[in-house]
Structure formats: structure tokens, C-alpha cells
Amino acid sequence: MSRLPTILQNNWPNKLLAKRPFFYAGSVMGPIAHKWKISFNENAKNVAFYNELPEFSHNEFTGWTSHPIEKPFAVFDLVSQFEHPQVLKRFDVSDRLLSGQRPKATRIEPRGDSVIKQVMWASVLGDYVSLYLAVLNGQDPARLQLVDKLKQSLNE
């Protein structure tokens, strides 16, 4: 346990403090990016967003052009080698064209030699990071007080 503070300070969840993460993926990893958004919202109590390529290229792509890069955002590209070649190209071209318009994307390439292995690996990684971020944020990942209050209010 004595290494825990060092581990927390040296990994990328620490870089997410006070940031709003945007998770981007193609159709293969899209459901996992959506799961990451949910995990970050619920576990870490940290607002997060996600979108899939190619849809990102039609609307959200343009939205980044009006945001200074020093805004409190963090961008993650969740990229599987099993994506369609055009989707892989969209990641590269989008990152190049948005250079200087948004924070540099951190590219996460899931491990595994099959889609199912990559899905499992990425799913566990997202949960793990969201739980560490909860600790860094001083939040209890198991508590959903506001959701409970919402449900209670709706039942009245």
C-alpha cells in the first residue's frame, strides 16, 4: 500500500484531474468508449463525453475549432487495429487537422489479437482508470447519491 500514492501520481488518471475527457472510437470500440463515458461519469463523478468516427467527422470535428487548446479537456482516441481502414485514416487525418485546435489526443490501442480480447482489455482499463480517478477526485465510486435523489423525487 505504501506505493499507492506514487502509482496514482505517475499514471494518466492523474492527468485527468480537473479535465473533461472526450473519448473517440470507431464502430469496433464505440461501445467501449460509451462504457468509458458512463464509468467516468458514475465512478469518478467526472463529466465525460464520447463519439464515434465517422460521425465525429460530420459535426463535432468542427466544434473543436472554436475552443482554445488550454481549455480543461483531455482527448482520447480508442483505436482498434480491426477498424475499417477508412476509419483508421479518419483518426490520423482528424488528429492532424485539429492539431493546435484541441488538446493533443492520447491514442489508446487495445491489446489483443482478436476483437473480443481487445474489447475485454479496453473495458477493464476504462473501469480501472475511472476508479483511480474517483480516488484522486476524493469520490466514492459506489455512491450515486444524486441519482438516488432523482429516483426518489420522481417517485413522489
**CA gap 89, 87 in Å, rounded:** 5
pTM of structure:
0.84
Q: What pLDDT sits at residue 21?
A: 92
CA angle 153, 149, 40 (to 5 degrees): 135
Q: Which of 104, 36, 25, 92 is nearest to 64 (CA)?
A: 104
Could you give the maximum distance between any two Cα atoms of the chain, in Å?
A: 52
CATH number of the domain bearing residue 105: 3.40.50.10490
Domain total in the chain? 1
pLDDT tens, per residue, the chain with 156 residues? 344 444 444 566 777 778 899 999 999 999 999 999 999 999 998 899 999 987 787 778 778 877 666 678 888 999 999 999 999 999 999 999 888 888 888 899 999 999 999 999 999 989 988 998 898 888 887 877 777 777 777 788
Domain that holds residue 120: 4-155
Q: Is 78 helix (H, G, I), strand (E, B) or coil?
A: strand
Instruction: Quote the pLDDT of residue 136.
Output: 87
- For residue 71, the model assigns a pLDDT of 75
